[in-house]
Amino acid sequence: MMSSKIGLACIIDDDSMYVNLIKKIIEAKSLCQNLMVFKNGEEALNYFEVILSNLDKKSIPEIIFLDINMPVMDGWEFLEGFTKIKNKLGKTITLYIVSSSINPVDIERAKSINSVKDYLIKPVTIEDLESIFLNQPA
């Protein structure tokens, strides 16, 4: 078993089945020590805003996997809010969009946003996840 370099990863996705499966893969492969899950952009953004007033670097994830189509607040709106505060968090956060949308408009839009490292189309593979976690700069 490889030991994980990543302390905390974050999934923002409303598809509980997908979240469960990713959780299982991360556990089975020991890809990170802790995982937090938000069901939509609003929950996640609220969390980051709270963190901002109470800077605790351990509570800031190194990686975020963000879905686009979610209720209440979708991925785009989350990104808008997140981009405004991410520099104040004092930690490099790598953000991947993970969506089942193959709409080229979505892909282009994602790639034009600085905070987005890459756009992954569901289904992701176990290999993809492993390489993302293992190549993540500490």
Partner 1 sequence: MLQNELFDNVVRDFNTGYWELYKNPNKEVWSQKFYESIGYSNKELEPSIDYFLEHLIHKEDVAVFRDNFLNYKKNDVNFKQHIKILTKEGSYKLFRCTTNDELPVNIKSEVNLLFFFEIKLEPEQAITKDNFYYKETAQMTATGSWYVDFAKRKSYWDFETRRILEYPDDYIPSLKDSANYYAKDCQQQAADCFFNCAMAGTPFNTEIKMVTANDRVFWVRAIGKPVYNDNKEIIGIRGVFQDIDDIKKKELRLQRSIDIIASQNSRLFNFAHIVSHNLRSHTSNLSLLVQLIEDIDNPEEKIELVNEVKQISHSLNTTIEHLNEIVAIHTNKDQEKKVIKFQDALNLVMNGIGQTIALSKTQIEADFTGLEEIDYIPAYLESILLNLITNAIKYKHKDKDPVIQIKTYIKESNKYLKVSDNGRGIDMKLFKDKVFGMYKTFHYNKDAVGIGLFLTKNQVESLNGTISVESDVDQGTTFIIEF
In the numeric block, the tokens 């937090």 are attached to 36
In the complex, minimum distance from the CB of residue 133 to partner 1, in angstroms, rounded to a whole number: 15
Residues found near partner 1 in the complex (CB under 8 A): 15, 17-18, 20-22, 24-25, 28, 39-40, 69, 71-73, 77, 100-103, 122-126
In the complex with partner 1, which residue's Cβ is closer, 22 or 60?
22
In the complex with partner 1, which residue's Cβ is closer, 89 or 124?
124
In the complex with partner 1, which residue's Cβ is closer, 93 or 124?
124
In the complex with partner 1, which residue's Cβ is closer, 25 or 37?
25
Q: Are 99 and 75 in contact (CB under 8 A)?
A: yes
In the complex, minimum distance from the CB of residue 137 to partner 1, in angstroms, rounded to a whole number: 26
In the complex, minimum distance from the CB of residue 43 to partner 1, in angstroms, rounded to a whole number: 8
Task: Compute the distance between CA of residue 11 and CA of residue 131 in angstroms, rounded to an integer.
Answer: 17
DSSP the chain: -PPP-EEEEEEE-S-HHHHHHHHHHHHHHT-EEEEEEESSHHHHHHHHHHHHHS--GGGS-SEEEE-SS-SSS-HHHHHHHHHHHGGGG-S--EEEEEES---HHHHHHHHTSTTEEEEEESSPPHHHHHHHHHTS--
In the complex, minimum distance from the CB of residue 14 to partner 1, in angstroms, rounded to a whole number: 9
In the complex, minimum distance from the CB of residue 132 to partner 1, in angstroms, rounded to a whole number: 15
In the complex with partner 1, which residue's Cβ is closer, 38 or 48?
38
